[in-house]
Amino acid sequence: MSPRPLVPARRRWLEGSLAVAALALAGVAGHGRPRLINPCHAALSAELAAHPLVAAAWSGLDPARVWDCHVHLAGVGDGGSGIRVTPRMLRPWHPLEYVQRLFYMNAACVDDAPGRVDDSFVERLQGLMADMPAGFKLMLYAFEQAHDRAGLPLPGQTSLHVPDGWARRVARAAPQAFEWVCSIHPYRADAIATLAAAAADGARAVKWLPQAMAIDPADAACDRFYDALARLDLPLITHAGEEWAVQGAGPPDWGNPLRLRRALDRGVRVVLAHCASLGELADLDRGGAAPSIASFELFARMMDEPRARSRLYGDLSAVVFRNRDPGVVRRLIETEDWHDRLLFGSDYPLPGVVPLTAPSSLAAAGLLDLDAVDVLERLQLFNPLLFDLVLKRALRSGGSALPAGVFETRRVFAPTPA
Ligand SMILES: [Zn+2]
């Protein structure tokens, strides 16, 4: 049990800058919530820890089987992590990316003092894990650089790079709490050897964000990587749908779920992050004109195809954010045929971006009991990981809920005991 870090002076500076930025954003958006800043409370109160809604969330789950399969590591590379972020994110004269970074850093409650960002990101995660039952784990993501067709890195077009070595190191330092997920560009000359080494080092999956990393999943150049994934039986977790969290180095359509059929057909188990729940993409099955439709509909079509029965999954990260259609959550709950292929994931630190999830909106859409709103809003300010789990356990549609198996994701990433 590690104590939560106290609020350092530098973080107060961060929060001050963020408050100004948030006010500006709220003005632009025309509608604000009373709270935009994560106050980074230091510990879960006894009242919240014992709240019936929290108890109900864990009831019927075996924590040792509950892995949050979608957790980002971030930082600025000041702690020997090797993390690099685009300079645009560090400079106020690129306001969008700058403010985005401030929100992420606030969501993760980092200490912004020089030399402390990377480490305090991890310390906060460890502190949050102290509120969770033993056995529960997070799958921590590395994040690959963009590469060109020749397999050479493109640092100038890379928004965020979190090296495999950092994710592995953080996970190894706390194996009771963390697993790690490697991120390897398939065009790299050493991609297959690197993948085999990561698998041998305990990586539980591979993570891609095709638009950001400049990967076309439908490209034949990916085939040797797909064959290696199938041989190693390592799942590929890939962001699908529209992507706004990280700036792209490739075209938006590289996030088209239909492009992953190529991986499925080569025997790869594929996890489509967010169930492709954001934006519209080309319906590539309709030929040249290819009108755009909701990318979630492309996900739905693929989930129903025979090739996907044993190999295609969707993760629940981000599906509850307010930039999603509530109809997505309704379909996920009501389509029982998908349930054994839906996987719990939070997209941390984004559940800590306070205005991004609105329990009251979910309640207004009939997906959440009104009584749950107050406790969820308070929980978010203490522990975004627990908040995300309790929220998703409490979702209801037509009297149904997501079954326990959706949350017990370990079955997909480590079917046999470690
Ligand atoms: Zn993510």
pLDDT of residue 27: 39
State the residue range of the domain holding 320.
9-413
**Cβ atoms 52, 372 nearer than 8 A:** no
- CA of 47 from ligand 1 middle (Å) equals 31
Distance CA(265)–CA(413), nearest Å, equals 20
- CA of 391 from ligand 1 middle (Å) equals 18
Distance CA(199)–CA(41), nearest Å, equals 37
Note the helical H segments in 352-407. 359-364, 372-382, 384-394, 404-407
Residue 3 lies in a domain: no
pLDDT of residue 229: 98
- CA of 105 from ligand 1 middle (Å) equals 15
pLDDT of residue 111: 86
**Cβ atoms 261, 298 nearer than 8 A:** no
CATH number of the CATH domain containing 216: 3.20.20.140
Q: Rg of the chain over CA atoms, in angstroms?
A: 20
Read off the pTM: 0.91
In sign, the C-alpha dihedral spanning 363, 366, 370, 373 is negative
- CA of 289 from ligand 1 middle (Å) equals 30
Residue 46 lies in a domain: yes
- CA of 370 from ligand 1 middle (Å) equals 28
Mean pLDDT by 10 residues, the chain (418 residues): 38 50 44 66 88 98 98 91 83 73 86 89 96 97 96 92 98 98 98 98 97 96 98 96 71 93 98 95 86 95 94 97 95 97 96 93 97 96 96 96 98 78
- CA of 288 from ligand 1 middle (Å) equals 31
**Residue 339 Rama label (left phi>0; alpha psi -120 to 50; beta):** alpha
Note the helical H segments in 208-321. 210-213, 223-232, 261-265, 295-303
Domain count, the chain: 1
Residue 4 lies in a domain: no
- CA of 318 from ligand 1 middle (Å) equals 8
User: CA 314 from chain center: how many Å?
Assistant: 12
**Cβ atoms 271, 70 nearer than 8 A:** no
